[in-house]
Amino acid sequence: MPLNILLTMVVVGISAIVLILHLSGRSRTPVLSENAARQSWVRHYPDDTVHTVQIAGNGKSALVRTSAGPGVIWVFGADTVARHLKNCDVTETATGLRIDFHDYSTPRAVFALTASERADWQAEMEAA
């Protein structure tokens, strides 16, 4: 088969797949609810018991208090990432909080929070 025909088939095929996935709604990022955050946390850390969940106003992140201490969960693409808040540095930014994890798999996460959410999250983190 000539290369130009093969290249055209590949480009059209990939474009069609992307279009179908987008039109079917699979390209939307999820919004966390309390129940979704609990389920996601337990999926990442099955031995933990989730006590409380504080969802950020934009629905893209949550602060959780678990039997193993506080943690954060956030939307990353079509899935979530969860990390315990052990061995990390929390820095206040103009738009929320930045957490620098001392972990090569997740070096840094930035959370968009309102001023009141930022204060609530910091108080919860310091209390733990």
Residue of 95 and 77 predicted with greater confidence = 95
Whether 48 and 76 map to the same domain: the answer is: yes
Q: Give residue 105's pLDDT band: very low, low, confident or very high (50, 70, 90).
A: confident
Whether 57 and 86 map to the same domain: the answer is: yes
| AA letter at 110 | V
Q: Which two tokens stand for residue 78?
A: 């079509």
pLDDT per position as a tens digit, 57-72: 999 999 999 999 999 9
Whether 40 and 17 map to the same domain: the answer is: no
For the CA atoms of 116, 122, 126, 127, the dihedral, rounded to the nearest 10 degrees, stands at 40
pLDDT at 27 over 80: no
Whether 38 and 24 map to the same domain: the answer is: no
Whether 51 and 109 map to the same domain: the answer is: yes
Whether 96 and 50 map to the same domain: the answer is: yes
Whether 55 and 118 map to the same domain: the answer is: yes
Domain of 79 in residue numbering reads as: 34-127
Query: What is the 3-class SS of 28-95, one letter each residue?
Result: CCCCCCHHHHHHHHHHHCCCCCEEEEEECCCCCEEEEEECCEEEEEEEECCEEEEEECCCEEEEECCC
Whether 15 and 50 map to the same domain: the answer is: no
Q: Give residue 93's pLDDT band: very low, low, confident or very high (50, 70, 90).
A: very high
Q: Give residue 1's pLDDT band: very low, low, confident or very high (50, 70, 90).
A: confident
Give the number of domains in the chain: 2
Angstrom distance (rounded) from CA 99 to CA 39? 22
pLDDT at 128: 60
N- to C-terminal Cα separation, the chain: 64
pLDDT at 8: 96
Average pLDDT, rounded, for the chain: 91
Helix (H) or strand (E) holding 68: none
Q: Could you give the 3-state DSSP secondary structure of residue 96?
A: strand
pLDDT at 103: 85
Backbone angles phi, psi at 92, to 5 degrees: -80, 135
Q: Look up the pTM and report it.
A: 0.77
